[in-house]
Amino acid sequence: MKRKIRFSLVYRDMWQSTGKYQPRVDQLKEIAPHIIEMGCFDRIETNGGAFEQVQLMYGENPNNAVREWTKPFNKAGIQTHMLERALNGIRMYPVPADVRRLMYKVKKAQGVDISRSFCGLNDHRNLELSVKYAREAGMISQAALSITYSPIHTVDYYMDIVDKVVEYGADEICLKDMAGVGRPVMLGELVLRIKKKYPEIKVQYHGHIGPGLSVASMLEVARAGADYLDVAMEPLSWGMVHPDVIAVQAMMKDAGFDVPEINMDAYMKVRSLTQEFIDDFLGYFIDPRNRQMSSLLIGSGLPGGMMGSLMADLKGVHQGINGVLKSKGKEELSEDDLIVMLFREVETIWPMMGYPPLVTPFSQYVKNVALMNIVSLVNGKERFAMIDPNTWDMLLGKAGKLPGPLAPELIELAKKEGREFYEGVPQDNYPDALEGFRKEMEDNKWSCGENDEELFELAMHDRQYRDYKTGAAQTRFIKEIEDKKNEISKIEIARVSKEKLLASPDSGIVFIYSGATYTYSDTEEILSEGRAVKKGDILFYINTDRTYQEVASDRDGKIKHVIIKRGEKIRKGDPVIEFE
């Protein structure tokens, strides 16, 4: 008899791994029936980390959004699951225990069936209350292992955590391979060990495709006994997200598993609607690079889910770094150069910072330190000159026990700054706070809502909730959309104004400018400003998909301005030469 493999659509994570925002509640309600009609999903990831902050930023009530989004799946008998960060709840920094406890009560009442709980440091002490509170609220408790690859993160290491969370009462285990760097064979062995020791425990695999390993990992964990696989679908599959359900279903069927059929008409409808949401406004906040895969991520271990913020951060410091380099007479960096430099810096400092699994929020902490280190090094300063308070809390043990030891220089720096290391239970650092927020609700004459759900939102996202209640969030969001539209309009106007520019015939990398010898040399090049050319003259070559294409002039004329440089990437339609 064939063993069943069930699929979970990670619709929330699909958006978070590509851009800044998720769909509005009206869009979520529109697409839900068609996801159900696909007939291939036993579970849907509906909410969790980042979801509710986004709704607040829109000026929408997140409690209404969660309720409306889960309702059709509840009715169809499809389980819904949320993602929460244990000590950090559904935000980026620690949450008092009474607020954590209220979260599960609220979310269960709103229609969420499963709580997927992970600690970014894999500290089982942070997961204990997540398991306890989820089960107390009547939810299925799914304890997640933050998967990464290092000398420390072995099968035995992870099994020690599994033993603890099962002892606490976890119903299921998730392998949260957030960066997709988990090695397939090791993950298969881990699932085999879990299933052998705890045959009644359901296992779900969540693997981002960014560096390209997770499809192989899916096959390995399925053969080892995994029950559920997290998948995505076009146009938000692959890239920094997850493999597409069509590919995974075909692979599993060929491997002899019992897998559900896919209603392709419904698939195409969901695909079309998702693209409509992208075209509406969500695409303004999706960096094209997040739609690509990169094996460079294997070395750095950075997760796909944070690539949107990473690209925004790089753009924020790019100009400043190049300004310093230019002032020192050094060659400026392209965006690609800066990405590679950041990845290398992460590889360097990750072991020094105790090997924290690179998952939210600790991936951001390591990335931020790496970015600040690059700025410091470019300015002639030492590493670790700038470390923010949240990162210090992680290094000092206030967020949980680090998997590995800190580098001596970080220990020395902590002592030099008078910082104390903490070995107690992390939750003890954050006293209960609900009553203070309840008083604020009363003072403002705000309703605490059904099951205290509005009180929960204020306590979990106090700043965003206040902005939502005053209308500042919606005003800011509308302005942000208008600014993006104006920015795109200016780009289009600039393109139109350059109608007389020669455009490249295809996408690729500028390989070589043409000259008398057609090689890199000091020979005077045809492609130089002020040079007269004739129609048909070879101007330069493009390396496209392992071939080289000639680019010839389409007119007689004099070159006014050369827009591209050797080694630059260009796309079809990009202007490259301006003629007088």
pLDDT average, residue stretch 7-11: 97
Please list, in sequence order, all residues whose beta carbon lies within 8 angstroms of the beta carbon of residue 188, skipping any fewer than 6 positions away. 217, 220, 221, 223, 224
Which residues does residue 19 pair with via DSSP β-bridges, in sequence order?
286
Please list, in sequence order, all residues whose beta carbon lies within 8 angstroms of the beta carbon of residue 318, skipping any fewer than 6 positions away. 333, 335, 338
* Strand 508-513 to 569-570 pairing: antiparallel
What's the chain's length in residues? 580
pLDDT average, residue stretch 532-561: 71
Q: How much is the pLDDT for 503?
A: 42
pLDDT digits (tens, 9 = 90+) for 248-268: 999 999 999 999 999 999 999
| Mean pLDDT, the chain, integer | 88
Q: Torsion angle of alpha carbons 396, 387, 293, 351, nearest 10°?
A: -50
Helix (H) or strand (E) holding 21: none
Percentage of the chain surpassing pLDDT 70? Answer: 88
pLDDT digits (tens, 9 = 90+) for 297-326: 787 777 765 655 666 677 777 888 888 888
CB count within 10 Å of CB 293 equals 17
Q: How much is the pLDDT for 562?
A: 81
> In one letter, which amino acid is 497?
S
> In one letter, which amino acid is 1?
M
Q: How much is the pLDDT for 545?
A: 47
pLDDT digits (tens, 9 = 90+) for 424-461: 999 999 999 999 999 999 999 999 999 999 999 999 99
pLDDT surpasses 80 at 526: no
Beta strands in 6-57 (DSSP E): 6-9, 41-48
- Whether residue 552 contacts residue 537, with contact meaning beta carbons closer than 8 Å, is answered with yes
pLDDT bin (cut points 50, 70, 90) of residue 563 is: confident
Tell which wins on pLDDT, 342 or 81. 81
pLDDT digits (tens, 9 = 90+) for 207-253: 999 999 999 999 999 999 999 999 999 999 999 899 999 999 999 99
pLDDT digits (tens, 9 = 90+) for 471-482: 999 999 889 888
pLDDT average, residue stretch 74-85: 97
Q: How much is the pLDDT for 490?
A: 59
Entry pTM: 0.80
Q: How much is the pLDDT for 573?
A: 64
Domains and CATH numbers, the chain: 6-287 (3.20.20.70), 296-429 (no CATH), 502-579 (2.40.50.100)
pLDDT surpasses 70 at 464: yes
DSSP letters for 423-438: -S-GGGGS---HHHHH
Q: Residue 481 half-sphere exposure, CB side, CA atoms within 13 Å?
A: 14
Q: What is the CA radius of gyration of the chain?
A: 26
> In one letter, which amino acid is 578?
E
Both tokens of residue 411? 């220990």
Q: How much is the pLDDT for 546?
A: 42
pLDDT bin (cut points 50, 70, 90) of residue 524 is: very low
Backbone dihedral region for residue 36 (phi beyond 0: left; psi -120 to 50: alpha; all else: beta): alpha
- Whether residue 10 contacts residue 206, with contact meaning beta carbons closer than 8 Å, is answered with yes
Q: How much is the pLDDT for 534?
A: 82
Q: How much is the pLDDT for 288?
A: 80
